[in-house]
Amino acid sequence: MIERKHPDWIKVRAPSSPEYFRTRGMLAELKLHTVCQEACCPNIGECFSHRTATFMLMGDVCTRNCPYCAVAHGKVRPLDPDEPRRIGEAVARLGLQHVVVTSVDRDDLPDGGAAHFAATATAIKQASPTSRVEVLVPDFKGVHESVETVVASQVDIYNHNIETVPSLYRKCRPGGRYDTSLDVLAHAKESARTRELPLMTKAGLMLGLGEEREELMQVLRDLRAVDCDILTLGQYLRPSQDHLPVERYITPAEFGELKIAALALGFHHVESAPLVRSSYHAWEHVAPSAKA
């Protein structure tokens, strides 16, 4: 397949602001990884310029090898027990009111890294008590105890990306299962209700991998069936020639139509545009006082 040239609406300017370089420097000083850098996010300039970042826990090497993802895979390192404290320090120094924390997949760990997520959420709350904490977690292989560990740390938003439609999982996400991802979101909400904790759940998909419109709409209906509150839809962009090709570029108008359709299904908030990523403008996805 011949790779298509990016349409004009995909292009972004190279980052150059002083805030971008200050944020990048501080993250390097604290030896922290961000998904902004590791996943080659097109919005890195805008987010770093606003002194925001999505922190990536547990290293920069993943135990899975999804053919759409730019994050390296292979042999992983032991967990850094000081990482949660350093992220808490970074949050305080950046003055963040909404913090997004994600990770590589760590299938080598018995709990998939759930306890490390919980420790990081606790450290952030201690360093910056008014900050909202959003976690973008892996599927933990569907282990409910791991989901409960993260929920019990009193995070504000539990985010787990569906990524694509079920028929494309074998091609795009061979290490995951669609039903498992739905179950993780359902159990997070159920666990929060059992503990009487306010929690919003969130999920995102990449478009342009070959999904059909009706199957995509069924995914949105499935997400609402498990009471998912927030949805993000963005264009898949090929990180390199070694990754899956783009099958189609979705137009901004189509993204707008999908947002209207998703809101009609009952999502609390929807971000739908070509350059949207799961943590893009995350601080705008929920009002400070909003609770599930």
CA 234/CA 179 separation, integer angstroms = 22
**Rg of the chain, C-alpha, whole Å:** 18
- 36 inside domain: yes
Pull the structure tokens for residue 271.
Answer: 């971000």
Highest mean pLDDT among 95-99, 101-105, 158-162: 158-162
> What pLDDT does 90 receive?
87
- Provide the β-strand partners of residue 151: none
Q: Which band of pLDDT confidence, cut at 50, 70 and 90, is reported for residue 2?
A: very low
- 291 inside domain: no
pTM as predicted: 0.86
> What pLDDT does 289 receive?
41
- 6 inside domain: no
> What pLDDT does 49 receive?
58
Q: What share of the chain in percent tops pLDDT 90? A: 60
CA 92/CA 95 separation, integer angstroms = 5
- 4 inside domain: no
User: Which residue, among 37, 23, 155, has the nearest Cα to 93 in the 3D structure?
Assistant: 23
Residue 11 has pLDDT above 80, yes or no: no
- 3 inside domain: no
Mean pLDDT of 15-39: 64
- 292 inside domain: no
- What's the chain's average pLDDT? 86
- 171 inside domain: yes
CATH code assigned at 41 = 3.20.20.70
Q: How far apart are the first and last CA of the chain?
A: 45
Residue 148's domain comprises: 15-284
Residues contacting residue 230 through CB under 8 Å, at least 6 positions apart? 157, 159, 200, 201, 202, 203, 267, 268, 269, 270, 285, 286
Contact at 8 Å (CB) between 126 and 91? no
User: Of the ranges 83-97, 161-175, 182-196, which one carries the lowest mean pLDDT score?
Assistant: 83-97
- 1 inside domain: no
- Helices (H), ranges, the chain: 18-29, 35-38, 44-49, 83-94, 114-127, 144-152, 169-172, 178-194, 213-225, 252-265
DSSP string, 202-271: EEEEEE-SS--HHHHHHHHHHHHHTT--EEEEEE---SSTTSPPP--PPPHHHHHHHHHHHHHHT-SEEE
Domain count, the chain: 1
Specify the residue for token string 């006082």.
Answer: 289
